[in-house]
Chains A and B, each alone.
Chain A
């Protein structure tokens, strides 16, 4: 379940959270080890503890996200359609009239073939099959 966060948001957070948690733990460790002279001791201990605790929590959360977020679905390779270049979109007024009339004729022929197919095998799928006609796609 990805709700209430959306899928992309969670994927983006997957690694960012883990790295942020590790960075916070590292920063806390640096404060403890180095104990800079410029900072008061109470600040070092308070901030260091805070960074450790919160960093560990964020890191665990970041590591846990991949367990609950499904990997991005990969569509199967389509041998024919993947290699076909998409037709260049052209405003209808730019299409020469002869080409437009041919497109209409082609559309009618394709739709007749679809209708013939439905009449031969009258099923819901045949009736509502998507037309491959470029005129309406």
Chain B
């Protein structure tokens, strides 16, 4: 399996990174992490799907609102590498049990320090993931703003 975070790494380099982690099985409809939890691990989805949600009051009750889904090969929880190291979303397994590779921050940072080239490539891949998310959500935000303005102008 190719992981988006390990693009451009040789198979040996990728193996070394994956060797830092441990495989975690997330049972169906179980949280992998919750909004506000300390983020000390980065996750690579290997099987199943991870659903990312944010809480929103709906009719006086707090509901987890769907934000996006992460599929095999994609990364979840990059807050582990970015201060203040707190998760900004809630992640849970959907439909079936999901398998993820959990990579501890401390081990990753140590590995990057010892292998700067691999660390550089992973940092670039992470920038692509974060940049894409940013562009996606700023587009969605603008479209929602457009609708709000149209409703108010009608």
Interface residues of A (CB under 8 A from B): 93, 97, 100-101, 104-105, 108-109, 111-112, 114-116, 118-119, 127-128, 131, 136
Contact = CB atoms under 8 A, between A and B. Distances in A.
Given A104-B66, A116-B136, A119-B135, A111 B58 contact: no
Contacts of A105: 65-66
Nearest to A115: B139
Interface in B97-154: 132, 135-137, 139-140, 142-144, 146-147
A112 B143 contact: no
26 contacts: A93-B59, A97-B61, A97-B63, A101-B65, A104-B66, A105-B65, A108-B65, A108-B66, A108-B67, A108-B68, A109-B66, A112-B68, A112-B136, A114-B139, A114-B140, A114-B143, A115-B139, A115-B140, A116-B136, A118-B139, A119-B132, A119-B139, A127-B142, A127-B143, A128-B146, A131-B143
Given A97-B61, A100-B58, 18 more contacts: A97-B63, A101-B63, A104-B66, A108-B67, A111-B140, A111-B144, A112-B68, A112-B140, A114-B139, A114-B140, A114-B143, A115-B135, A115-B137, A115-B139, A118-B139, A119-B132, A131-B143, A131-B147
Contact of B59 (A97, A109, A112): A97
A108 B68 CA distance: 8
Nearest to A131: B143
Nearest to B68: A112
A104 B139 contact: no
